[in-house]
């Protein structure tokens, strides 16, 4: 038996749309630039980020002191601001990537478990999510770091601990709706086990909205890490981090504006580009929100 010609139907595949084109391009390039700076920091940075130079303190951008060119100026200990910014990108991105991955994984697992198993698992997990989401996350993070002590690892752990409920909520809602789809039902009728259904049939179908959450969270995590460092609860000196640089720069705003301005600008650019990318991702994956915004 052969199929009739009208059985063949051409269907547009959603992922073929060229969402990255035109308006998003500059922001994608900015983000990519930060990523490259972070990865290759030691190769790109002109000087060692932690080397002090007492003769070159608080020099403005472009100053040359004993053969050392401070492209973006120097800080209160005579360290090259550009080099510290580049190494600071490393801290910001690493903290954000790790905490997003950790909280994303934990939140997704718990949310999927709640949405698929229902019953008491659902009740317990979602109540905890509600509690977490009702406490301001920054406050929670500050308190926890204050208890655990500062440092990069603790910052990542704390960010993951405070942010997993957002993924859990999205994963939960998505799992609820996908679990009732006929294809998940068919998988059960094929004898697929719980894990196979969750990871082969449900997860790929809910990963889109989770990616959007992760992208928007990423920007937030960059800011959180900076805030914690700003308060002295993050990465400890002398390691470079944008938040800590801002914090120090605050004392010199009138005399050496560049110390606070450049890390601030970097933060702004990075978070802005990540958020815009996240927004366009959401529009891409959720046509409803796009029409809403165009109206």
Binding stretches for another protein (CB under 8 A): 1-4, 6-11, 13, 181-183, 185-193, 196, 200-201, 204-205
d(CA 208, CA 242): 31
Q: Considering the complex, state which of residue 156 and residue 203 has its C-beta at the smaller distance from another protein.
A: 203
Of 204 and 238, CB closest to another protein = 204
Q: Any bridge partners for residue 2, and if so which?
A: none
Residue nearer to another protein on the CB measure, 46 or 287: 287
Provide the minimum distance between the beta carbon of 282 and another protein in the complex, in angstroms, as a whole number: 19
Instruction: For the CB of residue 46, give the shortest distance to another protein in the complex, in Å.
Output: 47
Q: Quote the CA–CA distance of 74 and 79 in Å, as a whole number.
A: 5
What is the Cβ-side half-sphere exposure of residue 263, based on CA atoms within 13 angstroms?
A: 34
> Between 38 and 202, whose beta carbon lies closer to another protein?
202
Beta carbon of residue 182, minimum distance to another protein (angstroms, whole number): 4
Q: Minimum distance from CB of 186 to another protein (Å)?
A: 5
Q: What is the DSSP string of 80-136?
A: BHHHHHHHHHHHHHHHHHHHHHHHHHHHHHHHHHHHHH-HHHHHHHHHHHHHHHHS-
Toward another protein, which CB reaches closer, 14 or 238?
14
| Burial (Cβ within 10 Å: 0-12, 13-18, ≥19) of residue 195 | exposed
Rounded (10°) angle between helices 25-39 and 258-285: 120
């Amino acid at each position: 038996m052969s199929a009739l010609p009208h059985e063949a139907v051409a269907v547009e595949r959603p992922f073929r749309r060229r969402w990255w084109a035109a308006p998003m391009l500059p922001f994608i390039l900015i983000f990519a630039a930060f990523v490259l700076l972070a990865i290759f920091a030691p190769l790109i940075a002109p000087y060692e980020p932690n080397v002090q130079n007492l003769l070159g303190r608080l020099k403005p951008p472009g100053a040359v002191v004993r053969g050392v060119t401070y492209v973006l100026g120097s800080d209160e200990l005579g360290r090259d601001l550009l080099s510290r910014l580049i190494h600071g990108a490393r801290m910001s991105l690493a903290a954000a990537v790790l905490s997003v991955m950790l909280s994303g994984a934990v939140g997704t697992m718990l949310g999927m478990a709640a949405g698929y198993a229902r019953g008491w698992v659902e009740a317990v997990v979602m109540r905890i999510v509600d509690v977490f989401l009702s406490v301001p996350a920054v406050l929670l993070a500050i308190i926890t770091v204050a208890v655990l002590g500062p440092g990069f690892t603790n910052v990542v752990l704390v960010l993951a601990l405070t942010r997993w409920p957002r993924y859990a909520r999205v994963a939960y809602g998505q799992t609820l709706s996908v679990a009732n789809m006929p294809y998940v039902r068919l998988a059960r009728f094929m004898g697929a086990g719980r894990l196979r259904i969750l990871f082969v049939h449900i997860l790929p179908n809910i990963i889109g909205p989770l990616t959007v959450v992760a992208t928007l969270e990423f920007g937030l995590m960059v800011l959180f890490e900076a805030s914690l460092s700003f308060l002295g609860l993050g990465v400890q000196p002398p390691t470079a981090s944008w938040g800590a640089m801002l914090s120090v720069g605050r004392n010199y705003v009138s005399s050496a504006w560049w110390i606070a301005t450049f890390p601030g600008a970097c933060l702004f650019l990075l978070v802005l580009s990540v958020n815009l990318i996240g927004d366009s991702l959401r529009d891409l994956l959720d046509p409803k929100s796009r029409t809403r915004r165009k109206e």
